[in-house]
Amino acid sequence: MSNVANASDPTSPAMTSAGKDERTVVIVEDDPNIADLVDLYLREAGFRVLQAAGGERGLELIIQHRPVLCVLDVGLPDIDGFEVCRRIRSTPATAALPVLFLTARDGEIDRVLGLELGADDYVTKPFSPRELVARVKAILRRGVTAPAAEQTTFEIGDGIVIDVARREVRIGSGPVALATKEFDLLAHLARNQGIALSRQQLLDGVWGADWVGDDRTVDVHVRQLRKKVGDDLPLATVWGVGYRLG
């Protein structure tokens, strides 16, 4: 088993003021060839890399080392990547950890894009390791965008509150559980209330300019938002353009 942590030097990590390894990435992948390849490219890009060959071990590493991102295979020998992601999201200390899924089949992609998982991005096997590193960097760039003075609470429609700082959506007093990208999309629309945004603008603003995907991604997430937030969400489809909130 290669699920022993192999950080370059875990005894002297670069620490931020928050006291966590600054640029550690955890790879959870049971195929050692894929894990080592991703490991190699991420190290070349300057990351500290820890590998786990199973889901449980991956969760341990994430709790212990507080990585900036997790590369997560779906098919794992113990608990699958979906369950790993669910546990990451349901643990307050790791709930905001970006997750990049490695998927093998179309069916997996649909689930990754789908409901409650909160994946930040995915690549489909076989993938280019360079592309994967580009995705990792894009996700991390998106994570450091909110200036302190920015408005962080938006009220839309009839009593729907979007609290960007707490990453929370409430209707009345009840919270609405959204996946990471669903929340990001709603927050982006809220920052641009009253403005019709094209799907491309939404892709750029939410997924980042480096995202390689198609408009369907936006539509899928809009559909989920409408389903989860409900009929009171004042999110209009603007024919020939895209979407407008409020």
CB of 35 or CB of 136, closer to Ca ion: 35
Please select the residue that binds Ca ion; options are 73, 108, 120, 184, rule is CB under 5 A.
Answer: 73
Among the listed ranges 42-50, 65-73, 80-88, 182-190, the one in contact with Ca ion (CB under 5 A) is 65-73
Q: In what order do the strands lie in the sheet with 99-103?
A: 48-52, 24-28, 69-73, 99-103, 121-124
| Burial category of 15 from C-beta neighbours within 10 Å (exposed 0-12, middle 13-18, buried 19 and up) | exposed
Spatial distance between the Cα atoms of 129 and 131, rounded to a whole number of angstroms? 5
**Per-position x/- string for 23-62, each x denoting binding to Ca ion as judged by CB under 5 A, each - no binding:** -------x--------------------------------
- Minimum gap (Å) between residue 35 Cβ and Ca ion: 9
- Please check whether residue 50 is in contact with residue 3, taking contact to mean a CB–CB distance below 8 angstroms: no
CA dihedral 234, 238, 241, 246 (to 10 degrees): -30
CB of 30 or CB of 182, closer to Ca ion: 30
Q: Is 78 helix (H, G, I), strand (E, B) or coil?
A: coil
* Ordered DSSP codes for 136-153: HHHHHHHTT---TTS--E
- Minimum gap (Å) between residue 79 Cβ and Ca ion: 12
CB of 75 or CB of 246, closer to Ca ion: 75
DSSP state of 12: S
- Minimum gap (Å) between residue 137 Cβ and Ca ion: 24
CB of 73 or CB of 120, closer to Ca ion: 73
- Minimum gap (Å) between residue 141 Cβ and Ca ion: 28
- Minimum gap (Å) between residue 222 Cβ and Ca ion: 31
- Please check whether residue 97 is in contact with residue 67, taking contact to mean a CB–CB distance below 8 angstroms: yes
Among the listed ranges 58-66, 68-76, 93-101, 236-244, the one in contact with Ca ion (CB under 5 A) is 68-76
Residues that bind Ca ion (CB under 5 A): 30, 73, 75
